[in-house]
A and B are shown apart, each in its own frame.
Chain A
Amino acid sequence: MMKKVCENWEQALPAGTFGPHLFGEFETRAKNVSAEVFRVATAAEAQAVLVELAKSLGAKKAVAVDCPLAQSAGAYEALRAAGLEVYTATDDIAAHADTADLGVSGVEFGVAETGSVLQDALAVENRLVSTLPPVHAVFLKSGNIVPAMADAIGAVAKVFDRGYLSFITGPSRTADIERVLTIGVHGPSRFIIIAVDETAGGGAA
């Protein structure tokens, strides 16, 4: 039985409707809910964005889940080269996620209507790096944007038989005291999307 579904998204996305032409709306919506969006042309630039982010945070420790975009960007090696401890093995992530300054993972696709991204969260390390550290950065293919939540759930319906999925829309937030919007309660207070035009294979998405 299919459990891990993240390899199957592109075939599940509605052909001809998704693509980089929707990135503008996606970016606007995501920024409206306090996500930080960096769109870059190449994996090399993505690596630079991540390292820059880690430096600006003064981050010493990161927990990171491997994904094709991070690999082709050599992102985690670059973080190590910049002086961070970077944990990528599952048991290491378990041991360090609560004290890490930064969590990094890959997400499957974005939703233009809402500025959300979909994370395949079956793997526990994906959930740990996206819930416990105060900052969560994700890699996304800028071509993988669907128009609306209806399309997104349509894709989910095709491939989601079991497991754990999360649509993430901006950082953790609350308005439970006097309805004052406050960012960063139990989850990350910063949510950073690094969108890469060039795919792992080198072509445009």
Chain B
Amino acid sequence: MAVNERNIKKEISQKLKDDVLRGALGRFGEAYPVSRAKAYENVEDIEALRDELKAMKVAAVADIEAIADRFEAEAARRGAKVFRAADGPALKKYLLDLCKDKGVKRVVKSKSMASEEIHLNHTLEEAGIHVKETDLGEWIIALAGHTPSHMVMPAIHLNRQQCAEYFSKELNEEIPPDIPFMVQTARKTLREEFLQADMGISGANFGIAENGAIGLVTNEGNARLVTTLPRVHVVIIGYEKLIPTVEDAIPILRSLPRSATAQLATSYVSMISGPTPTLVKQGGKWVEQDKELHIILFDNGRLKAAKDEKFKEIFQCVRCASCLNVCPVYQLVGGHVYGHIYAGGIGAILTAFFNSMGDFEKINELCIGCRKCTTVCPGRINIPGLIEELRVRGVKDHGLPFSLKLLFENVIANRRLFHSLLRTAAIGQKPVQSGRFIRHLPLFLAGMTEGRSLPAVADTPLRDRVRKITKKLASPAKKVAFFSGCNMDFVYPETGESVYKVLQDLNIAVVFPEEQSCCGKPVVGFGDVETTKRIAKRNIEAFEKAGVDYVIAACPSCTETLHVTYPEILADDPEWAERAKAFAAKVREFSQFVCGEYEQAGRLTKKPGATKVTFHDSCHMKRVLNIHEEPRKLLASTGACEVVEMKDCDKCCGMAGAFGIKYSELSAPILKQKIENIKDSGAQVVAVGCPACMMQIGGGLDKQAPDIKVRHVADILADQIKD
């Protein structure tokens, strides 16, 4: 694909071989959720706090121009000089002029991501100004010539030995890889920098409109020195950091340290409003005077985002990086693959606005849409949703790559052709050879990959079996239509039969609308909304004709697409909006539906069983549909299972649509960890609610733990029903 020509694959494989990085991120990934939970222990209601932070930020961005005006006026009234910089060049010009005007030769900086966004240090150094980062991590990566690989822990990719090498080279003496010693060395070295600096440059964690104050949330104490000792203080603050009142800082101060570093509070939280006194030496005497305070309000794409109905959401970010800390892909590759300063899912989005769409498109596929980040983001940003939206806009702007366009518009949207290709694949038991695009067909055609077997296409698809398995019920209690999805139709028709068996056992009549086809998930996943709309309309039409009470799907991704995506993408279509809504209202996920029916029938009582079964929560089932208790209750009621939990039961299995195939080198280690957790649970069977997870985990077990079986919840339920 053209968008990937930065050779991301090569960069990824280098990172996968970096043992220091992998070790550090692996250990951090283990430790973070535990320490975060502990930090939130004395917050009564975390969800309410997230709501509070989100609401505050949503209100702020809605009124950002007025808030910026007020901030500027209040800061100016107290004696600060406020400059609004539209972009990097404007900011740099202002700063270089200021340095010249004030005779600034030496600058100390405390952390400012915004300044790194535009490589400010490089510009200052070119102008002959001596610049030092003073945050320890930032100083280390500056010595190494690296960019930050994490927003909170910029040097997480380096170990103590590597740090010691950079220290030794900088200081021209042998520095041992002893962490406390290195920290003391940094203290001594940078203390001189603080004392000699003419200017301090800081970022800001928030800026308060009502009193023109900036807030700084730090641990090392460098920000207090940077803002105290030099005679000039320059603040670089992005518009997204502005909040209306002092009290609006409360949800930030309660969330940011807990989410970022698992602290209840950082060592130092400072608020500075207006120029404050400093001491300068004049004629051998210390004289107290107010320092120069310059505040640069930085735009660089932020105001464009603020005016965007969807992307104003990025103003809810407080840069805690918790989205990176739980991201399965970030945990493998670290921050540098993301290309610019901001890493991970939120980094991809910020990069699109602060750098360019082109930079975003090089990395956008690294979001696998598992939605784990949405469970921790203190500002409740829908990061995967925004990434999908950016993909949609990319497709609108310059279309899809040719092979995908061909596949989506001519194959997947054409049920007859699509299904006949799948049948052809089944006859040959080998991937279709007739053209490059075929390799992009839904995943079961993609062949074998390392560490995982992929199943063959079944001889007889479910659609050819339904006549035989449909029971004639004398007086059915309900009538439902089954939406099988491609996987269950063509790869796992036996599971489709189980669905029939379970439903019919409940005296529910099941029909299979023949005209149904792929739900469109892979198509919309690549941002092709127009083709997805065509697919949606055909499916809706097919099910309308069936005249049923409910539409049942036993795949959470299909369920999401039918239930959530269809009404969204057809909302502006006068002919289809209502039809899509009515259809979506009938859609039910299988295990949730059956759980309700069993409960009504008094069949949901817990019965002990002999087989140890662990349940894998599919990303979309848990985090989009919010279904996780129901399948467990069903399993516990069969009398055949002892339900045991595995570690990280709701962590992605690594399939994630096309990702699992295209980035198989990333998918494989994610799957491996899942298999390890399954083995550790002692389970004999892994139950799933999603056929794509079934394929991925089944393939992994086949190669790595062949004694453990993967089964869909429907299959386990069907086993207990007598024919």
Instruction: Spell out A's residues near B (CB within 8 Å).
Output: 29, 33, 90-91, 94-95, 98, 111, 113-116, 121-124, 127-128, 130-132, 149-150, 153-154, 156-157, 160-180, 182, 184-188
Task: Tell me how far the C-beta of B21 lies from the nearest C-beta in chain A, rounded to whole angstroms.
Answer: 12
Q: Given the complex of chains A and B, what is the CA–CA distance between A154 and B268 in angstroms?
A: 18
Q: Given the complex of chains A and B, what is the CA–CA distance between A35 and B338 in angstroms?
A: 39
Q: Which chain B positions have C-beta within 8 A of A98?
A: 191, 195
Query: Are A121 and B279 neighbours in the complex by a CB distance under 8 Å?
Result: no
Query: Are A149 and B254 neighbours in the complex by a CB distance under 8 Å?
Result: yes
CB of B611 within 8 Å of the partner chain: no
Query: Are B264 and A150 neighbours in the complex by a CB distance under 8 Å?
Result: no
Q: Given the complex of chains A and B, what is the CA–CA distance between A153 and B56 in angstroms?
A: 15
Q: Given that A153-B249, A166-B224 are contacting pairs, would A124 and B278 also be in contact in the complex, using a CB cutoff of 8 Å?
A: yes
Task: Tell me how far the C-beta of A11 lies from the nearest C-beta in chain B, rounded to whole angstroms.
Answer: 17
A-B contact pairs, 6 of them (CB 8 A): A90-B279, A156-B246, A160-B246, A166-B269, A174-B136, A175-B153
Task: Tell me how far the C-beta of B538 lies from the nearest C-beta in chain A, rounded to whole angstroms.
Answer: 52
Q: Which chain B positions have C-beta within 8 A of A162?
A: 78, 211-213, 273-274
Query: Are A176 and B24 neighbours in the complex by a CB distance under 8 Å?
Result: no
Task: Tell me how far the C-beta of A118 lies from the nearest C-beta in chain B, rounded to whole angstroms.
Answer: 9
Q: Which chain B positions have C-beta within 8 A of A130?
A: 224
Q: Given that A160-B271, A166-B268, A186-B187 are contacting pairs, would A180 and B246 also be in contact in the complex, using a CB cutoff of 8 Å?
A: no
- Besides A163-B272, A174-B137, A182-B180, 17 new A-B residue pairs in contact (Cβ under 8 A), listed by A number: A113-B264, A124-B288, A149-B253, A149-B254, A160-B211, A163-B273, A164-B227, A166-B224, A166-B269, A172-B267, A173-B220, A175-B153, A177-B182, A179-B28, A179-B153, A184-B184, A187-B267
The segment out of B3-11, B118-126, B155-163 that lies at the interface is: B155-163
Q: Name the prevailing secondary structure of the B interface residues.
A: mixed
Q: Which chain B positions have C-beta within 8 A of A128?
A: 228, 279
Task: Tell me how far the C-beta of B48 lies from the nearest C-beta in chain A, rounded to whole angstroms.
Answer: 12
Task: Tell me how far the C-beta of A157 lies from the nearest C-beta in chain B, rounded to whole angstroms.
Answer: 4
Q: Given the complex of chains A and B, what is the CA–CA distance between A163 and B211 in angstroms?
A: 10
Interface size on B, residues (CB 8 A): 69
Q: Given the complex of chains A and B, what is the CA–CA distance between A128 and B278 in angstroms?
A: 10
Q: Which chain A positions have C-beta within 8 A of B24?
A: 178-179
Q: Given the complex of chains A and B, what is the CA–CA distance between A153 and B268 in angstroms?
A: 14
Query: Are A94 and B273 neighbours in the complex by a CB distance under 8 Å?
Result: no
Query: Are B136 and A185 neighbours in the complex by a CB distance under 8 Å?
Result: yes
CB of B42 within 8 Å of the partner chain: yes
Task: Tell me how far the C-beta of B3 lies from the nearest C-beta in chain A, rounded to whole angstroms.
Answer: 34
Q: Which residue of B lies closest to A95 (CB)?
A: B286
Q: Given that A127-B224, A185-B187 are contacting pairs, would A157 and B245 also be in contact in the complex, using a CB cutoff of 8 Å?
A: yes
Q: Which chain B positions have C-beta within 8 A of A157?
A: 245-247
Query: Are A124 and B277 neighbours in the complex by a CB distance under 8 Å?
Result: yes
Q: Given the complex of chains A and B, what is the CA–CA distance between A177 and B213 in angstroms?
A: 32
Q: Given the complex of chains A and B, what is the CA–CA distance between A147 and B664 in angstroms?
A: 51
Query: Are A177 and B272 neighbours in the complex by a CB distance under 8 Å?
Result: no
Q: Which chain B positions have C-beta within 8 A of A169?
A: 263-269
Task: Tell me how far the C-beta of A33 lies from the nearest C-beta in chain B, rounded to whole angstroms.
Answer: 7
Q: Given the complex of chains A and B, what is the CA–CA distance between A173 and B222 in angstroms?
A: 10
Q: Which chain B positions have C-beta within 8 A of A187?
A: 220-221, 224-225, 267-268
Query: Are B263 and A33 neighbours in the complex by a CB distance under 8 Å?
Result: yes
Q: Given the complex of chains A and B, what is the CA–CA distance between A186 and B111 in angstroms?
A: 14
Q: Given the complex of chains A and B, what is the CA–CA distance between A122 and B228 in angstroms?
A: 10
Query: Are B276 and A91 neighbours in the complex by a CB distance under 8 Å?
Result: no
Q: Which chain B positions have C-beta within 8 A of A168?
A: 267-268
Q: Given that A166-B270, A173-B219, A185-B220 are contacting pairs, would A150 and B250 also be in contact in the complex, using a CB cutoff of 8 Å?
A: yes
Query: Are B136 and A176 neighbours in the complex by a CB distance under 8 Å?
Result: yes
Q: Given that A98-B191, A161-B211, A179-B28 are contacting pairs, would A167 and B265 also be in contact in the complex, using a CB cutoff of 8 Å?
A: yes
Q: Given the complex of chains A and B, what is the CA–CA distance between A123 and B279 in angstroms?
A: 11
Q: Given the complex of chains A and B, what is the CA–CA distance between A132 and B221 in angstroms?
A: 9
Task: Tell me how far the C-beta of B606 lies from the nearest C-beta in chain A, rounded to whole angstroms.
Answer: 40
Query: Are A90 and B253 neighbours in the complex by a CB distance under 8 Å?
Result: no
Chain B 1-37 per-residue mask, 1 if CB under 8 angstroms from chain A, else 0? 0000000000000000000000010011001000000
Q: Given the complex of chains A and B, what is the CA–CA distance between A185 and B140 in angstroms?
A: 14
Query: Are B250 and A182 neighbours in the complex by a CB distance under 8 Å?
Result: no
Query: Are B264 and A186 neighbours in the complex by a CB distance under 8 Å?
Result: no
By CB atoms of chain A within 10 A, which of B136, B184, B265 has the most? B265
Q: Given the complex of chains A and B, what is the CA–CA distance between A116 and B253 in angstroms?
A: 12
